Chains A and B, each alone.
Chain A
Amino acid sequence: MTNSIHSLGITHRLLKGILGLFLTKQLVRFVFIKFYSYYNQHKMSLLGAILLPFFVLFLSLFIKLDNNKKRELKLKLKRLYPHVSQPVLTPSNCIRIALQSVYLALFNTTTTSQQHIAVEQRKSWRKLTRSARLLRLADSKLVRSCKGLWLVARKQTKTKSYKAVSSSPLWKNSTLKVAFFTLIVFAVAIFVTVPFSIEAQAVFISLILVVAYSLRRVEGKMATIVMITLSVTTSTRYLWWRYTDTLNWGDPLALTLGIGLLLAESYAWLVLILGFFQTINPLNRKPIALGKDTANWPTVDIYIPTYNEPLDVVKPTTIAAQSIDWPADKLNIYILDDGKRPEFAEFAKQIGVGYLTRPDNKHAKAGNMNHAMKVTNGDYIAIFDCDHIPARSFLQMTMGQFINDSKVCLVQTPHHFFSADPFERNLKNHRKIPNENMLFYGLIQDGNDMWDATFFCGSCAVLRRSALEEIGGFAVETVTEDAHTALRMQRAGYKTTYINIPQAAGLATDSLSAHVGQRIRWARGMAQIFRLDNPLFGKGLNIAQRLCYLNAMLHFLSGIPRIVFLTAPLALIYFNAQIIYAPFVAIFLYIVPTLLQVKITNSRIQGKYRYSFWGEVYESVLAWYILKPTTVALINPNKGKFNVTEKGGLNKQDHYDWTISKPYIILLLVNVLGMTYGVFRLLFGDSSQIGVLVISMLWASYNVIILGAAVAVAAEAKQVRSSHRIKANFPAAIRLANGRTIKVKITDYSNNGVGLETDHNHLCRVNDKVELLMSRGLKQFSFPTYICNTRDKQLGLTLRDLDLEKQKAFIQCTFSRADAWLDWQENFKHDKPSYSFSHVFYTSLRGFKNLIFHAPNELRPAIAFASRVLYFVASLLPKKPTKVLKTS
C-alpha cells in the first residue's frame, strides 16, 4: 500500500511538474481534483478520467462554465440522451451515444408542444381517411351501378316478350334441352382446355374478377349461380393447366413432389365442386302442423342412451323430455343406461320415466338402442343424447313430416351447443364467429335435404319404427352407426328430412383432445362405411345422394391434402424442387385469381355459417389426427376401437396441451425455419429464382399464420363454473318480500340460477329473498330464490330448495322453451373475408404468445436468454428525447 502511494506520489509530482509548465497552478490543481473525482467517485476508466478534465478545460475556453451552466448542460445532455445509463463511458453506451447523435442530427426531434404534434397527426390522419373515403365512394358507386344494371336485366325478364320466349313450349322439347346442355358443357370445356398465352390469361382472369366484383352486393339465387359457374370455370381451368403444363418431367424429385401437390389440389377441386353441388339450393324445409285432434296423433318413444355421464347431465334432458308438448298417454320416455347405475334407476322412478338396462354392452349405443326397441312399442322413436335438452315444441315441429308422407323415415334437427367448443373457449370466440358445427347443420345438411340425402346424426331426431325394423335395427358394423343406419334406410327406399330449426341444445366437447377424439371416431366410421357399404355402389340410391355421401367421406379424408398444403412451399425453399414448373408470372396469374374467386364465392355461399380462413384452421387442427384412423379403416375396416366422447368434465386450470399440439408445433417450426432459410436465399442466393421464391415464402407465411392459430387452440382455458350459463331474452317477473312486483327480462340462466335485467334501478340488495315468476305458455310458476349479486339494473338470482316438481317447472320455463335456441344464427353478420383474415392473424399471434408463455420448464432459460438479448439490442436503438420539465 505504501509502495503504491509512493509510486503514485512520484508520478503525481512528475505530472504536476510537466503540467505546471503549460498551465497555471490553479488549473493544474483543478485537473488533478477532477481526475481523482472522476476516477474514484464516478468510477470512470483511467483514460476517460485523464482525458475528461482536459476536455472540460478546452470547452471552458469557449464557454463560460459556471455551476449553473454546468447543471443546465448536464440536464440537456440527459434529456437528449435519455437511454444512456451510468457509468457513462462503457462500450455499449458509446454505441448508444453515436446512434443517438446520428438520429438527432437527421431527424427533427425538437420537442414541439403536444398540441402541434396532435395537429400534425390529425392532418395526416385526415388525409388518410379522405383517400379511404374516396375509395369507398368509388367502390359503392360502382357496385350500385352494377346492381342497377342487374336489376334492370331482372326487370327485362319480367317483360312480356321475354316471358313469351322463356315459357314457350320450345324449351320443353327434351332433345332441344339436351342439345342446349351439351352446348353449354362444350363451351365450358373450351374455356377450360384452350391454352391461353399469358396476356390472354390475364385478360380472361381480369374479366372474371370484374364480374365477381360487380356481383358482390347483388343478392339472390341467380347471382350466386353465376358466381358458382365462374368459380367452376376458373378452378377447372386452373387444374387443367396444372395437369397439362406444369409438371417438371426432367427432375424426378420435383416430379414426385409435384404430383403429390397436384393430387392434393385435385382433391381440393373435387371437394369444391361437390360442395357447390351440395349447397347450391338449401331446402329450408318448413314444419308441418299436425291436426288439432290429438286422438289421431301417433305414439312416440324417447330414448336417452347413456353410459358414463354423470346424473347432473342427464337430469335436465329427462325432465325436458317429459315436458314436451305431446299427449301424455302417447309419450313414453326411457333412459337406456349401459352403466347400470342405481342412482339413475332411482331418479327414473322418482320422476316417472322408464329405465332400461341390458345384460351386456355389445355394440355400444347402437346395441343399447336395439335392445330397447325390443321392449318398447311406440310407432316412432325419438333419440336424444343424454346432454341434449329438447325444447317442448320438438315433437310438434317434427312429427308433421311423417304424417304428411309415409315414406319419410327420419326427421333430423340441428345439434346446437349452449356451451363453447374448444375452439370457441380457448380462442374466446364464443358467439362471435360461427362455430365449426354451424357449417354442417346450418348449410350442408340443408343442402343435403334438397337432394334427399340427409344423414342421421345420432341425436335430436325422430325415426319411424317400421323403417328401422325393416332394416334390422340400428346398424352395428361401424362406429358411426347413425350415418350407416340412415344409409340403409335410404337404400330401402325411404326418405329422410331435415328441419333447420334447433329444437334441442347440448354440451359441446370439453377439451381439444376430446374434440379430436370425437372427430377421429367420425372419420373412422365414415371410412368403414365406405369399405363395408359403399354408397357409390349398390342399389337404392340416386346419383345425387351418392355424390352427397361422397362429399361427406371426402371431408374426412382431408388429412393428407391439408398436410401437403402446409408443407408444399418448403419443397421449393429447401430443395429448390420446381413443383409447379411454370414461370413466375404464369403462376401468379393462374393461382392468385383462382384462389380469390373461389374464396369470394365460398364466402358468399357460406357467409353466415363459416367465416373465411377458419375452415383451414379447423382442418389443420384435425389433419394429423384423422390421417391414421382413416387410412387404417380404409384398408381394414374392422380394426380400431370405439371410444366414447366424454361429456361434462371440468377444466380446473389454464394449461397448454402439449401432447395434442405436437404436430402443429413441428409443422410450424419447419415452416418458420423455411422462411428464415428463404430470406437467407433471397439475400445471398441466385437471383433467377426470386419470383417463385417470393411466392413460396408468401405461401409459407400464410401457413405459419394458420398453424399459429391452430397452436393457439391448444391453450386450454380454465372453465370457471360447472353449470353453463345460457344467454336468453324473455320476459318474467319478480315478487319482492314486500309483495311488490317488478317486470324483468331474463338475460341468462343456468341449472340453478338466472340473471335478469330491470327497466329502471331496483333497490334490492344481496341476500334478499325474491320470488321469481316465469311462465311456460299459459302457466305461471313461482320459484323461491335469493339475490346473489346485483348491479344498477341487473340482478343475479340463485334458486333455493327446489323440489322435483319445481325443478321440472324451472326446466320447462328455461331450457325447454320453444324459442330457446331460435336465435342460434341471428347474431352472426355475413362473412367479410378481409376482416376474418385479420381475426385469424391475431389469433395466430396469440398462439405464438401462448407457446412462449406456457413453455415447458426445460426451455425457459433459453427463452429468457433470447428475450434478454432482444431487449438489449432494442435498448441500443435511438430513442426520442424526453420532454423538458420546467424545474426551478
Chain B
Amino acid sequence: MKRIFLKGIKGGTGTTSIVANLACALRKSNVPVYAIDLDPKGDLGLHLGLAWEHQLGWSDYPNFASACEQFHQDNDGVKFLPYGSHSNLGLDFSSIIESCQQLNDSDDSWFLFDCPAHVDVHRYSLNEDDIFLEIINCDAICHSFAFKRLNTLKQAESSWQHYFLTNKYNSASELESDLLQLWQTELPLIAPLYINKDEVIKEATAFRNVAINCAPYSVANDDFETLAGWLVSRASQNDQ
C-alpha cells in the first residue's frame, strides 16, 4: 500500500486537480487507485465525474464500514470517496486514514489523500513510507510559506518524505521564472519537476473529466505522467 498526501500550502493552489489527474495517471498501469477527499470544502468528486446532486460522503456516516457505501468508481477505474456534507460527527480524518488500511488489497495499490490547506501536516500520523506533497504556486506568498514550513519541519521530528511541488507554472512570467530558478537550487525539498499552467486542466472539469483524458497531446498530460513516474520510483526506493 502506498500512501500519498497532497495538500496546498494555502488555498487555491490547485491541489484537487493534481489529485484527480494523478489518480488517473497512476491508474493507467492497471493498479488499484483510491482517492480520498479529506477536505470539507472539497470537490474531488466533481473532477472524477460524480453527479452534482450527490451530496453524501464519508462524513455523513458513523463508521467506516457504512461510509464505504460512498465509494464511487470513475470511468478509468479510480475508486474515490467524497467528503460529503459533514452531517455526522462520528468520523474524522485520522480515523478515515487509519481505516483505509483495511482496504489494502495489494501491495501495489495507491491511496491518494486530498488534504485541506488549513490542516497542518503535523496533525497526520505519518510513517516513513508516506509521501507528503505540499503544493505551491510560483509567487512570493508561497515562497514565504514554504520557508516557514521548512522551519517547522526542522524543529519537529519528521520521518515522512516531504516535498514541495510547484503547480500552475507559467514560464512567460518573469517573477515565476526567476522564482522557480531560485527554488530549484535554494529551496530544500523541492520536487525535481513541476506542473505547467495549462488551460486544459481547468477546461477538463467543465467536461467532468480530467486533463489527461481530454488532451493527451498536452503538456499537462506529460507533466502528470512524469509526476506519476517520479512517485513510482520514490515508492520503489522506499521498498528497498
Residues of A at the B interface (CB closer than 8 Å) are 733, 735, 738-743, 758-760, 771, 773, 778-782, 784
Contacts and interface: CB of A to CB of B under 8 A. Distances in A.
Contacts of B222: 733, 743
Interface of B: 169-172, 177, 181, 184, 192, 196-200, 202-203, 215, 217-222
Given A771-B172, A773-B171, A780-B171, A743 B218 contact: yes
Given A741-B198, A780-B169, 20 more contacts: A733-B196, A733-B219, A735-B219, A739-B198, A740-B200, A740-B215, A741-B199, A741-B200, A741-B215, A741-B219, A741-B220, A743-B221, A743-B222, A773-B171, A773-B196, A773-B219, A778-B192, A779-B181, A779-B184, A780-B196
A741 B184 contact: no
B12 to A, nearest CB: 18
A-B CB proximity, top 8 nearest: A739-B199, A741-B219, A782-B172, A782-B171, A780-B171, A733-B219, A741-B198, A741-B218
Contacts of B192: 778
A492 B109 CA distance: 68
Nearest to A775: B171
B65 to A, nearest CB: 44
A735 B219 CA distance: 9
B218 A742 contact: yes
A781 B180 CA distance: 11
Chain A facing B: main interface SS: strand
Nearest to B185: A778
A781 B219 CA distance: 14
Contacts of B170: 782
A15 to B, nearest CB: 94
A829 B215 CA distance: 39
A782 B196 CA distance: 12
Given A738-B199, A779-B181, A743 B219 contact: yes
A778 B217 contact: no
A781 B171 contact: yes
A493 to B, nearest CB: 43
Contacts of A779: 177, 181, 184
Considering residues A743, A781, A784, which has the most beta carbons from chain B within 10 angstroms of its beta carbon? A743
A759 B222 CA distance: 13
Contacts of A758: 217
A741 B196 contact: yes
12 contacts: A735-B198, A739-B199, A740-B198, A741-B199, A741-B200, A741-B219, A742-B219, A743-B219, A758-B217, A773-B219, A778-B184, A780-B177
A294 to B, nearest CB: 13
B47 to A, nearest CB: 18
A778 B215 CA distance: 24
Contacts of B202: 739
Nearest to A744: B217
A207 B126 CA distance: 80
A735 B192 CA distance: 22
Nearest to B173: A782
Contacts of B199: 738-741
Contacts of B171: 773, 780-782
B43 to A, nearest CB: 21
Nearest to B193: A778
Contacts of B215: 740-741
Nearest to B172: A782
B215 to A, nearest CB: 7
**Interface centre among A741, A758, A782, by most B CB within 10 Å?**
A741
A255 B221 CA distance: 80
A758 B203 CA distance: 21
B210 to A, nearest CB: 15
Contacts of A784: 172
Contact of A742 (B181, B184, B217): B217
Contacts of A735: 172, 198, 219
Contacts of A771: 172
Nearest to B219: A741
A260 B117 CA distance: 92
Given A771-B172, A781-B171, A782-B172, A740 B184 contact: no
Contacts of A741: 196, 198-200, 215, 218-220
Nearest to A736: B199
Contacts of B203: 740
A743 B172 contact: no
A742 B199 CA distance: 11
Contacts of B172: 735, 771, 782, 784
Nearest to A760: B217
A380 B221 CA distance: 46
Contacts of A739: 197-200, 202
Contacts of A759: 217
B170 to A, nearest CB: 8
B202 to A, nearest CB: 8
Q: Counting chain A CB atoms within 10 Å of each CB, which of B171, B172, B218 scores highest? A: B171
A742 B198 CA distance: 10
A773 B215 CA distance: 18
Contacts of B169: 780
B78 to A, nearest CB: 24
Contacts of B217: 742-743, 758-760
A297 B138 CA distance: 33
Nearest to B196: A741
A739 B172 CA distance: 12
A743 B177 CA distance: 20
A773 B169 CA distance: 12
Nearest to B222: A743
Contacts of B197: 739
